[in-house]
Structure 1
Amino acid sequence: MTSPAALPAKGTVPFGEHKTWYRVTGTPGAGRPAVVVLHGGPGSTHDYLVGLAALAQEGWPVVHYDQLGNGGSTHLPGKGAEFWTPRLFLDELDNLLLRLGLRDDYVLVGQSWGGMLAALHASARPGGLRGLVVADAPASYPLWLREMRVLRDRLPEGVNETLRRHEAAGTTDSQEYFDAMMVFYNRHVCTLDPWPREFVATFMEIYNDPTVYYAMNGPSEFHVIGSLRDFGVEDRVADIEVPTLLISGRHDEATPATVRPYFDLIPDVRWEVFEESSHTPHLEEPERFRQVLIEFLKGLG
């Protein structure tokens, strides 16, 4: 097994027959726990979270990785929906921690789907986990879908009708659907105009290979018809023992109702709402996000 202090800056680790791409900023094992970053999607990439690498300047080594099926990790466009499961991605995370020698001292920062995955991992009470950050993540997709209906009904006149027409017809790959979808995204996913380059990079990666996103989620954030449509973590999060930070934006597609189960059920938890943000507070309010995250990490001892 690789010694943390000797890790290359980036590379891949074997995961069964496949490979997981990773990048390390800073030197694990030098004092503070490694911060391992779990991106959203499922089927996204690390790119939009790359700014978290700046934590290394404060002494926390940062590990980014691309989950299987996207980015620098092995792409598997021939795999059906039955292959892409939460268990697969939990196993991939466990394998990454083992291969990089991080299992004894680490913090997880999960965003959106990555937050659900991180919460599941934490609920197993791994001995080396020091803290957990769940950012912009619903506690379940049934909750998410219920709140999506609320947000969609508030879109400008005609937009939701366009979305519904194409969803009913199965024409969600049309330009008209995409244009209507972007009205929602610009309100509830990222409110910055233009979108930051790293966010665009992630967005394009999903559409370059939508295998995982389409199988598990569906054609859009708010039309979840994939294998996760009935998935949730509410029955597991009460088992989380480490200090937990919840983050969400005031205009987030992960509305307060979707986040609240974490707050109600995790024993040691605090919740920070970013008033000027939607689903990406780390991009929309980067300075405050940095301050809140560093304060939490310092509090872990």
Structure 2
Amino acid sequence: MRNALTLAICLFLNFTIKGQTGQENGLFDELERNSWYLPTADGKARLYITSLGRGDTVVSLHGGPGNNFNYLVDAVRGSTDSTCFVLFDQRGSLYSRVQDSSVRDLSLDILVDDLESLRKEIGQEKLTLFAHSFGTVLAISYYLKYPQNVRGMVLTASMPPFIPRGKTFIDLVPEFHKRIKALRNRPEVEAILRDEGLWEEEGLNKKQQSDRYKITGLASFNMIELRNWRSFKGGRAFFNSAVEGAIGGSMPESYDIRPTLERFPITISIIQGTEDYLSADSWKLISDLLDHVSVHLIEHSSHYIWLDRAEEFNHILSSSFPWNRNRQE
């Protein structure tokens, strides 16, 4: 029955991609048509689920925590001809809301178990995961707890695969912030603000103030090609800072994927921008030792690679899935 549900979602309700039919509104319609709710195992929330594409199933994990999945549509839409991406809002996010009084109880462990409930519901013996930013921590955490239930992972803008000996996750955060600050202070940020007439804050109307924040507070460190700043999605109404605080506060001080990779080897593909504020150096250390872990660095791109280098990102993402590799061979 569950396998039938997965097939119904992924094969018969496929969204319309611009370029295939020319109907841009088909994307929104398909997201709505494919949506359904999954009650969590503890009965405290309902997860909003939808899907895009056809073919083998990949479960997508958005960033945040506290973000919404909508922005990931741009990341996966170029690979939907052979892959069905299941997208959902993690517990506490916009479409999977919880009571305000319950937000403080949210944790990374809860999100891991929600993902396991989703795996069972859609009838997948093993999950193939596509994850972005904080979603990569969720993917790693799920793999550490349920390694036998993971087929492979594609991680982009990935968090480190392990915390160096003698350090905690909190010790790594200042370096992330340092790189974010450098990206926000690039000359290109001032240049685009001046080009858009948004450099002087005084006298801006509400729409202009919002546009200015979208550039300085969001696009500036998440993408390099600031001429495309209007394509940035997320933030503000799509983001819940209280959820971020609760789940962020539950992050483990330390973790290490390497022992699990030795016992339960899976294929992992890392897609990282060379100018991302998160470094892929520790992943490269692992890939040098393990053939089933690969790191793909995309030049002149940051945290939302597909907004900077869409064609290259789409090619690497599609070719990272085994069904596409086999087809290309």
- Output the TM-score relative to the length of structure 1: 0.75
Structure 1 pair 88/248, CA: closer, same or farther in 2 (3 Å)?
A: same
**How big is each residue's C-alpha offset from its partner over 1:16-52, in whole Å with a ceiling of 9 and x where there is no partner?**
321001112245xxxx531111000011111111131
Is it true that 1:204 corresponds to 2:231 in the alignment?
A: no
TM-aligned CA deviation for residue 213 of structure 1: 1.5
Is it true that 1:195 corresponds to 2:222 in the alignment?
A: no
**1:160-171 alignment to 2 at 5 Å?**
none
Residue in 2 that maps onto 1:160: none
Between the aligned partners of 2:88 and 2:313, the Cα distance in structure 1 is 21
Moved more, 106-115 or 123-132: 123-132
What is the SS of the residue equivalent to 1:78? helix
TM-aligned CA deviation for residue 142 of structure 1: 3.0
Alignment check: 8 A CA contact 1:20 1:73 kept = yes
Residue in 2 that maps onto 1:72: 95
Between the aligned partners of 2:275 and 2:47, the Cα distance in structure 1 is 33
**1:138-157 alignment to 2 at 5 Å?**
138-139=159-160, 141-142=169-170, 144-151=172-179, 154=182, 156=185
Structure 1 vs Structure 2 CA RMSD: 3.2
- Structure 2, unaligned runs of 5 or more: 14-33, 164-168, 187-211
Question: Which of 30, 35, 47 is equivalent to 2:70?
Answer: 47
Task: Using the aligned pairs only, state the percent identity.
Answer: 22
Alignment check: 8 A CA contact 1:112 1:138 kept = yes
**How big is each residue's C-alpha offset from its partner over 1:175-221, in whole Å with a ceiling of 9 and x where there is no partner?**
xxxx8996474443223344344x43x213344x322113334xxxx
**1:10-25 alignment to 2 at 5 Å?**
10-15=35-40, 16-17=42-43, 18-25=45-52
How many residues in Structure 1 have an aligned counterpart in Structure 2? 263
TM-aligned CA deviation for residue 119 of structure 1: 1.6
**1:113-262 alignment to 2 at 5 Å?**
113-124=134-145, 126-139=147-160, 141-142=169-170, 144-151=172-179, 154=182, 156=185, 183=216, 185-191=218-224, 192-197=226-231, 199-200=232-233, 202-207=234-239, 209-217=240-248, 226-228=249-251, 231-233=253-255, 235-240=256-261, 241-257=265-281, 259-260=283-284
Q: Amino acid of the residue matched to residue 66 of structure 1?
A: D
Between the aligned partners of 2:143 and 2:310, the Cα distance in structure 1 is 26
Q: Amino acid of the residue matched to residue 96 of structure 1?
A: L
Alignment check: 8 A CA contact 2:228 2:307 kept = no
Between the aligned partners of 1:125 and 1:215, the Cα distance in structure 2 is 23
Is it true that 1:6 corresponds to 2:28 in the alignment?
A: no
Between the aligned partners of 1:265 and 1:110, the Cα distance in structure 2 is 23
- Structure 1, unaligned runs of 5 or more: 158-178, 218-225
**How big is each residue's C-alpha offset from its partner over 1:73-130, in whole Å with a ceiling of 9 and x where there is no partner?**
133322253x1211101011111111122x2254100100101111222234544532
Alignment check: 8 A CA contact 1:20 1:68 kept = yes
Is it true that 1:93 corresponds to 2:98 in the alignment?
A: no
Structure 1 pair 26/250, CA: closer, same or farther in 2 (3 Å)?
A: closer
Structure 1 pair 96/125, CA: closer, same or farther in 2 (3 Å)?
A: closer
What is the SS of the residue equivalent to 2:79? helix
Residue in 1 that maps onto 2:197: none
Between the aligned partners of 2:97 and 2:103, the Cα distance in structure 1 is 15
Alignment check: 8 A CA contact 1:250 1:273 kept = yes
Specify the structure having the higher radius of gyration (Cα): 2
1 or 2, which has the higher helix percentage?
2
Between the aligned partners of 2:288 and 2:171, the Cα distance in structure 1 is 15
Structure 1 pair 294/215, CA: closer, same or farther in 2 (3 Å)?
A: same
Is it true that 1:60 corresponds to 2:83 in the alignment?
A: yes
What is the SS of the residue equivalent to 1:13? strand
Alignment check: 8 A CA contact 1:106 1:128 kept = yes
Q: Amino acid of the residue matched to residue 68 of structure 2?
A: T
Alignment check: 8 A CA contact 2:284 2:295 kept = no
